[in-house]
Chains A and B, each alone.
Chain A
Amino acid sequence: MGFGDLAELSRMVARIYEGTTDPGAWPSILKDLSLFLGASKAALLTPTVGPEAGGFGFVHGMAQEDMDRNYREFPGEDAWVRRSMALGLIQMEGAVVLGEEILSYDELQETRWHRQFLAPLDIHHVLSSVIYGANHPVFPVLICSFYSGKAGGPFGIHAKESLGLVLPHLTRAIGLMLLLRDTDYRVVASLAAMERLDRGIVLVDQDGVLVHANPAAHRIFKARDGLVLEPAPGRQGWLVGVGDPSARGMMSKALDGALGNRPENLSRFSRGILVPRPSCRDPYVVRVSDASPLRGLRPGQAHPGAILFLTDNAVPLLVDEALLEELYGLSRAESRLAAALSLGGTLEEAAWDLGISLNTAKTQLKEVYAKTGAHTRAQLAKMALPMVKPQVPGPRGASLEQ
């Protein structure tokens, strides 16, 4: 091998890593690999898991529909994969196999899979490699296979060696791609979790600029009632703006503390900021926290910014009555009364709201006390708190910055 080989290999390897950040590039990468190895078709696929269960198959030289048909009409019939499994080859990450080494052409021709699926596509020979083996803890079997037709004939030892050279890169590129996607999924999952919470949560970067706000926070900003988003001066993005001047001062101090600009400000978290509202409703309560992971920073990690928790006390709380019923064996009427009473208000008001007589309400309350073990309204309130329903969020949380 000379310099030309090295340059070509280097180009091929560089192409493979394009798939890391751009999964849509795999079909064209497979095309280049096919040229490199003298194949007419190729597939990067999870042979044991179909797309409906999260599997996938990227193809070159055949239609995606052919791959879908393979999963749909011939599940478990891939004769090469079956034989590889029987021989324990599929356990071996990094294995490179010539089809003829494990299954003779005659044997292949006897299978329904070959007659009905492979032959019409002019697939008769395979050169296959195992990217993830059957013993991978998380992912299903993932193989990269190259095919040739009648005219092309079986693959040779040179093609097998060449695939062996690029296979570690294929495996690494896919590993990096999955790592990126996995991180994506985890971000999406924790943002989705924040969406389901009814306190406003706002993530800001080290300049105090908004990175993410959940729907509850957006509802507060949208109301334009003392807490708003305002354009960050001198750069793109949004800052949390506070209307009231004294609250504004406290907020900027708290943010400075959380962002580490004033390390002496350690008591920041035991203090909330009351933000008065022009509408004269109960003030918002804002708590500011730093965003460093409680489980420790990675070495060399950039400052992660800060988190703002916003509480809107003017939004009425709703208790999940069905859950109260299930948990304490209350009747429908009793759970309604318990829900109404647990958040404040008098027995008379609750009876009026529910359209029942005061005497009925008293009887029901006795039952509620007996079934829940509560003796007072305050105890009842404490029991009902975990069963408060999240408010129906409005628009989805938006990432303005990213």
Chain B
Amino acid sequence: MSSDLGSLPSFLHLVGRIYDAAASPGEWPDLLASLAEWAGAGPTALLMPTLWRQAEGLAFLELVTGAVFEAAEPSTLLRDLTARRRDADPPFRPEEAERLSPLLPHMTRALAIMIRLEEKERLLETTEAALERIPQAVALLGSGGEVHYANPPAERILAAEHGISLRRQAGAPVPYLHVDDPAVRERVAARIRDAACGAGREPSRSFEGATVPRASGGCPLVIRFTPLGKGAAFLEGFRKARVLAILTDPGAPTEVDQAFLVSTFGLTAAEGRAVDGLHRGDALADLARLLNVTLNTLKTQEKEIFAKLGVDSRAAMTAFLGRLDVIRSKAAAGGGLDAESLPG
């Protein structure tokens, strides 16, 4: 190792890049190339045994020519960094190895950080995927109404400008919930604060409710807020979501997922169409006309439907469909499990 002053900044710069790669794994290939260059090793293959989980389990992952990740037993982290060179090339000199060795502890730690981050991100993605698939519109809010997360149904409601929407202040990392009507804004903010204060205590299971009148008139939106439970202490105040908001638009036109009812409960296609009308509460005579069947046929279909679903009234049927997540907002056609008006 030469003891020249000039190598210090470039050494520290390399160390910095190693830790940067912990948060952005895509930088490893270039970084390994730079490490080989740092060692003065010329065209070199660097081999790092590390934990890299793929769909098929632990795998050998080749990133670029000359830089290779190698699989190892789980729970073992980087212990050595192997440089390889073609037989035709000159053998390594001890100085080259000596230049690489102070970087090893940094590689180990950076890989450990990277793996932890990946594990957490994977769990986060799965939990958010679950929230994306529920039919209810849910959002995770900070105590000041910052929106840390909104699932697609919530995004749709907030994008529809019903008097409540997402706004973003310049430079702010996340948007916030904006209510047009000043009086309602006050009330919504107070409910969010109440729920957020509850977050430090034993979670109260009851929901705080607020209604937001639609700009266009008609049935107001309903938002319910509930605390998200206790959190850890330090720095939580700056980012943490504290409140779960469930938004519903009771006035939105709905339809039922007929395909689901047909395949799951053995309804006929005609019965599926009848359920769609029945859940809306149309009068039987009107519905019969709409479906182009006689009133008697429709009555028979209704009996069959009740028997197949195991309910005894239309109200009970609607409640049943609601909790099965098969009532969805008409505007949201195409979504899988998509409904607006469902029990929380």
Contacts and interface: CB of A to CB of B under 8 A. Distances in A.
Given A270-B259, A345-B313, A56 B234 contact: yes
Interface string B217-236: 00110101010110101111
Interface stretch (A74-82, A86-94, A226-234, A370-378): A370-378
Q: Could you say which interface size class chain A belongs to?
A: 35 or more
Interface stretch (B2-10, B35-43, B288-296): B2-10
A393 B204 CA distance: 11
A307 B325 contact: no
A176 B341 contact: no
A377 B8 contact: no
Given A189-B241, A291-B129, A382 B55 contact: no
Contacts of B328: none
B316 to A, nearest CB: 3
Interface string B53-88: 111000000000000000000000000000000000
A68 interface: no
A129 interface: no
B259 A6 contact: no
B121 interface: yes
Given A6-B7, A20-B113, A342-B319, A274 B264 contact: yes
Interface string B157-177: 000000000000001110000
Contact of A192 (B16, B130, B205, B228): B228
Given A292-B129, A385-B322, A9 B20 contact: no
Contacts of B341: 382, 385-386
A256 to B, nearest CB: 14
A193 interface: yes
Interface string B95-123: 00000001001100110110011001111
A138, A192, A212 — which one has the most chain B CB atoms within 10 A of its CB? A192
B47 interface: no
B235 A307 contact: no
Contacts of A303: 55
Interface in A4-49: 5-7, 9-10, 13-14, 17-18, 20-21, 23, 49
A137 B168 CA distance: 13
B226 A140 contact: no
A326 B209 contact: yes
A195 B140 contact: no
B117 A180 contact: yes
A294 B152 contact: yes
Nearest to B237: A54
A199 interface: yes
A136 to B, nearest CB: 10
Given A378-B315, A390-B344, A140 B238 contact: yes
A285 B254 contact: no
A352 interface: no
Contact of B236 (A185, A294, A385): A185
A294 B153 CA distance: 12
A363 interface: no
B194 interface: no
B313 A294 contact: no
Interface in B311-329: 311-320, 322-325, 327
A291 B123 CA distance: 10
Contacts of A54: 233-238
Interface string A302-337: 111101010101000100101100110000000000
Contacts of A3: 1, 3
Contacts of A402: 123
A183 B121 contact: yes
Contact of A344 (B112, B171, B319): B319
A187 B113 contact: no
A196 B237 contact: no
A279 to B, nearest CB: 14
Nearest to B123: A187
A381 interface: yes
A380 interface: yes
Nearest to B340: A386
19 contacts: A1-B5, A6-B102, A9-B8, A21-B113, A23-B234, A54-B236, A178-B235, A190-B140, A320-B209, A344-B315, A377-B281, A378-B278, A381-B318, A382-B281, A383-B250, A385-B319, A386-B341, A393-B205, A402-B123
Closest 7 CB pairs of A and B: A54-B237, A344-B316, A388-B343, A379-B281, A386-B248, A378-B281, A381-B318
Given A176-B113, A382-B280, 11 more contacts: A3-B1, A17-B113, A49-B237, A55-B237, A186-B241, A190-B131, A196-B226, A203-B127, A287-B337, A382-B250, A383-B250
Interface of A: 1-3, 5-7, 9-10, 13-14, 17-18, 20-21, 23, 49, 51, 53-56, 137-140, 165, 168-169, 172-173, 176, 178-199, 201, 203, 206, 211-212, 267, 269-274, 282, 285, 287, 289, 291-295, 300-305, 307, 309, 311, 313, 317, 320, 322-323, 326-327, 341-346, 373-383, 385-390, 392-393, 402
